[in-house]
Amino acid sequence: MTEVLSQDEIDQLLTTISQGSGSSTEDIMRTPIEAKRNRSIKIYDFKRPDKFSKEQIRTVSIMHETFSRLASTSLSAQLRALVSVHVASVDQLTYEEFLRSIPNPTALSVINMDPLKGSAILEIDPSITFSIIDRLFGGTGESSKINRELTEIEVAVLGGIVVRLLSNMKEAWSQVIELRARLGQIETNPQFAQIVPPSEMVILVTMETKIEEIEGMMNFCIPYLTIEPIISKLSAQYWYASVRRGFTTENLTTLKEKLSRIHVDIVAEVGRIDVSMRDIMALKVGDLLRLPNTKASDSLILKIGDRSKFECRPGVVGKRVSVQITHKLEEIHSEEFNELIASDREDD
């Protein structure tokens, strides 16, 4: 069979001839051909097949980066401490390898991944687990080398934390599936958490977790059998298409309805005057305040919140005192609008 040389092999052949190595033409031609045949071969283990593509792993990483941000905020609020969670790695391995990589005892939460079939595992490092429990019991959450199983009370307390994290996970997965994750049970011995056969492939999301000065890992293990029904949705194209589909007419209508129920203070300002506290305390019914540099024919300033937005003139509509807007002073920027909404919520 005639061998066809690539451009790189042709360049290598010409370079060898120009250097005058003294070898025969046949030997020179044989060199690149043999190099091509002796290329390193990637070994494929049929007992440990790769079931997740790089794109799918990247999508899972993006999903759990969102989960990490939500979890950081949620745990910080509940523990009254600075909590940082971020994705360290996303790997595929066998379930047996995962069990061997975690300490014993530890906190293994078996998660029902409804509507997906099967379960997943959320493993929290003992240093993080006992720091959380210590803070919830009123302690400082300082690092202590505790190597024991959780008591029944500690399991119940940790269960509340896991349920809170699952609500964050539901939001992070919402672009792919309406996940209704539920806590099954909490195990401390990895050998008692056999949710799939040892040789089954899983995807492992490792998240570095830090509570003040305490550092540890939080691992989320999802078997391939559980995630297989939505594996086609774990692509960048589907992910970004889902994000764009989020801005629908229905959502915009809902947003407008919610905005229409927000109350903002509007004040028509006639004028301003500086008055001392002594004069204010001496005011009584019937006193007149003279507004300097203000004429009766001047326009009033209509203020939204503490911002002057419009010029207006006073009048009467029916039996009610009113103002008519005559001129716009400035645009309401989105940042200012958000501040108004936030202040209104605080008042409520």
Total tally of structural domains belonging to the chain: 3
Task: Tell whether 61 and 157 lie within a shared domain.
Answer: yes
Q: In terms of domains, do 171 and 120 share one?
A: yes
**CATH number for position 318:** 2.30.330.10
Is 281 inside any structural domain?
Answer: no
Q: Please check whether residues 225 and 334 belong to one and the same domain.
A: no
Statement to judge: residues 325 and 195 lie in one domain: no
User: pLDDT tens-digit profile of 172-204?
Assistant: 888 888 889 999 899 888 888 888 998 888 999
- Domain assignment of residue 45, yes or no: no
The reported pTM is 0.57
**Is residue 284 situated within a structural domain?**
no
CATH code, domain carrying 127: 3.40.1550.10
269 and 240 in one domain? no
Q: Can you give the pLDDT at residue 139?
A: 83
Strand pairing category for 266-269 and 119-124: unpaired
Residue 237, in any domain of the structure: yes
Half-sphere exposure of 92 (CA within 13 A, CB side): 17
Specify whether 330 is located in the same domain as 239: no
Q: Place 1 in a pLDDT band, splitting at 50, 70 and 90.
A: very low
| Strand blocks (E) in 113-181 | 119-124
The packing angle between helices 236-245 and 54-79, to 10°, is: 50
Per-residue confidence band for 67, with pLDDT thresholds at 50, 70 and 90: very high
Is residue 251 situated within a structural domain? Answer: no
Do 74 and 184 belong together in one domain? yes
User: Is the pLDDT score of 50 beyond 80?
Assistant: no
Enclosing domain of residue 222: 54-246
Do 225 and 264 fall into the same domain?
Answer: no
H and E: helices and strands count for the chain: 11, 10
In a domain, 48, yes or no: no
Q: Is residue 279 part of a domain?
A: no
Q: Considering the chain, what is the average pLDDT of its residues? A: 80
Strands (E), the chain: 83-94, 107-112, 119-124, 182-187, 201-211, 214-223, 266-269, 300-304, 307-317, 320-328
Residue 129 domain flag = yes
Q: What does the pLDDT look like over 123-150, one tens digit per residue?
A: 999 889 999 998 888 888 776 677 788 8
Q: Are residues 170 and 216 in the same domain?
A: yes
Q: Does one domain contain both 87 and 118?
A: yes
Residues 197 and 328 both lie in one domain: no
Residues 313 and 165 in one domain: no
